[in-house]
C-alpha cells in the first residue's frame, strides 16, 4: 500500500501550509478534501494543483457517502483532520456552524474512518493513523502566574468554538479507547504565517497598518497568547504522524507568550520599516475597542512532551517568524485582494465597531 494522506480542510490556512510542506519534503500522495467555505482558498495550492501526487476534492466531512468513496478509491495510509470552523468571534455570533462541522462532521469522519480501518489487513491496520488537529483553547484560560497548559490539563472551554473542539477531541479519544482506532491528537497554540485569513489578529493588523486604517485591539490589549509559526506547526504534525504513539495527545507551542498589544506594536514597526512613506508611526493607528464576550485572558503551552518524546522543537523565534509574515502579506497584494471580498469587509465592519 503506497503512502497516501487524506487531508481534510487542506485549502485553509494551516492545511494548505501542511500540504505544500509535505509535497516538497515527502514522496507521499495527498488527497485534499475541503468544503471551500469563506476561509478555504485554492490559490494557496496553485503550485501543486497539477502535480500527479496531489488531488483536490470539494466536499463536506459530514458527507459520509463521500468519505466512504474517498477511502475506497484512494486507500489512504493516514488521515490528517484540519477541517474545522475556527474563529472565536464567528462562533459567538453564530455557533450552529461550529456544532455542525466540528462535532457532527468529526463524528461522521470517525465513523467512516473506523469502518475503513476495520477492513484493512493486520499489516495495513498497524500502519494506519488518524491525526486530529485541535487547539489550546479547549483548556480554557490561565491566570498570570499559572503554569502553561499540559496534556493532562483539565478541559474548560469558554467559547462555542472551544467547546466544539473539546467535544471533537473527546470523540477522537473515545474512538481510540473503545474501538482501538489508532488516533492521535495535537493541541496547538495560536498560529501565524502566510495564507491566514485576514479576520485573525496578525494579518488584520498588517493589512490595516499598511492601508493606514485603525488597528482595533480588544479591551486593554493585555490578553496573552503563545504564538507558533505555521511552518513549525506543520513540521510538528508530520513528526507526530510519523513517531507519535496512538491514543496520545501532544501539545504544540512556540514558547512565545506575548500580550496582544505588544504584537500589534511590533507589526506597526515592521510595516513602518517595510512600507515607508507615512509621516507618523503606525502605532498611532491603534484603537482600543470593546472586549469580546468571554475573552480568555491568557493561553500558554507546555510543549516539553513532544520535544522529549519525539524530538521536535520550533525553528522560528517570534521575531524571525513575524518578520517573514509581514513581508509575505506586503508582497502578496493579489492574494489579499482575492480573499478580502465584500462579505469579508462587511464582517469586519460589523464585528470591530468602536
Distance CA 33, CA 57 (A): 5
**Nearest one of 123, 16, 116 to 73, comparing CA atoms:** 116
Residues 205 and 236: their CA atoms lie apart, in Å, by 27
CB 228 within 8 A of CB 314: yes
Sheet holding 78-81, edge to edge: 54-58, 29-34, 4-8, 78-81, 129-135, 183-188, 249-252
- Which residues are catalytic, by number? 136-137, 161
* Residues 263-290: b if buried by 16+ CB within 10 A, e if exposed: bbbbbbebbbeeeeeeeeebeebbeeee
Residue 285 DSSP label: G
**Cell numbers placing 309:** 518524546
For 114-222, list the strands marked E by DSSP: 129-135, 183-188, 190-192, 215-218
- Give, as one character, the DSSP assignment of residue 136: G
Within 10 A of 343 (CB to CB), how many other CB atoms are there? Answer: 8
Distance, first Cα to last Cα, the chain: 56
Q: Three-class SS string for 211-256?
A: HCCCEEEECCCCCEEEEEEHHHHHHHHHHHHHHCCCCCEEEECCCC
Amino acid at each position: 500500500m503506497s503512502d497516501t494522506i487524506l487531508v481534510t480542510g487542506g485549502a485553509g490556512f494551516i492545511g494548505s501550509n501542511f500540504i505544500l510542506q509535505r509535497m516538497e519534503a515527502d514522496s507521499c500522495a495527498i488527497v485534499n478534501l475541503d468544503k471551500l467555505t469563506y476561509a478555504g482558498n485554492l490559490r494557496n495550492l496553485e503550485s501543486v494543483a497539477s502535480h500527479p501526487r496531489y488531488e483536490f476534492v470539494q466536499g463536506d466531512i459530514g458527507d459520509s457517502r463521500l468519505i466512504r468513496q474517498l477511502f475506497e478509491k484512494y486507500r489512504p495510509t493516514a488521515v490528517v483532520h484540519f477541517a474545522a470552523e475556527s474563529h472565536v468571534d464567528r462562533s459567538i455570533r453564530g455557533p450552529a456552524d461550529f456544532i455542525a462541522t466540528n462535532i457532527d462532521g468529526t463524528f461522521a469522519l470517525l465513523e467512516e474512518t473506523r469502518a475503513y480501518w476495520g477492513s484493512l489487513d493486520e499489516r495495513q491496520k498497524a500502519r494506519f493513523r488518524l491525526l486530529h488537529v485541535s487547539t489550546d483553547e479547549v483548556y480554557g484560560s490561565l491566570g498570570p502566574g499559572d503554569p502553561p497548559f499540559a496534556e493532562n490539563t483539565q478541559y474548560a472551554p469558554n467559547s462555542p468554538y472551544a467547546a466544539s473542539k473539546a467535544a471533537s477531541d473527546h470523540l477522537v479519544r473515545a474512538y481510540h479507547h473503545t474501538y482501538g482506532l489508532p488516533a492521535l491528537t495535537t493541541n496547538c497554540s495560536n498560529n501565524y504565517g502566510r495564507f491566514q485569513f485576514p479576520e485573525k489578529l496578525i494579518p488584520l493588523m498588517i493589512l490595516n497598518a499598511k492601508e493606514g486604517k485603525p488597528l482595533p485591539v480588544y479591551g486593554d490589549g493585555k490578553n496573552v497568547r503563545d504564538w507558533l509559526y505555521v511552518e513549525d506547526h506543520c513540521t510538528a504534525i508530520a513528526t507526530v504522524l510519523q513517531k507519535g504513539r496512538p491514543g496520545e495527545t501532544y501539545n504544540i507551542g512556540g514558547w512565545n507568550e506575548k500580550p496582544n498589544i505588544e504584537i500589534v506594536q511590533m507589526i506597526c514597526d515592521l510595516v513602518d520599516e517595510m512600507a515607508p512613506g507615512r509621516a507618523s508611526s503606525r502605532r498611532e493607528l491603534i484603537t482600543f475597542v470593546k472586549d469580546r464576550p468571554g475573552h480568555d485572558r491568557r493561553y500558554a503551552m507546555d510543549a516539553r512532551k513532544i520535544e522529549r518524546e519525539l524530538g521536535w522543537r520550533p525553528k522560528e523565534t517570534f521575531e524571525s517568524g513575524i518578520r517573514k509574515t509581514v513581508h509575505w502579506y506586503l508582497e502578496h497584494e493579489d492574494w489579499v485582494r482575492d480573499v478580502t471580498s465584500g462579505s469579508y469587509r462587511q464582517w469586519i465592519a460589523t464585528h470591530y465597531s468602536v
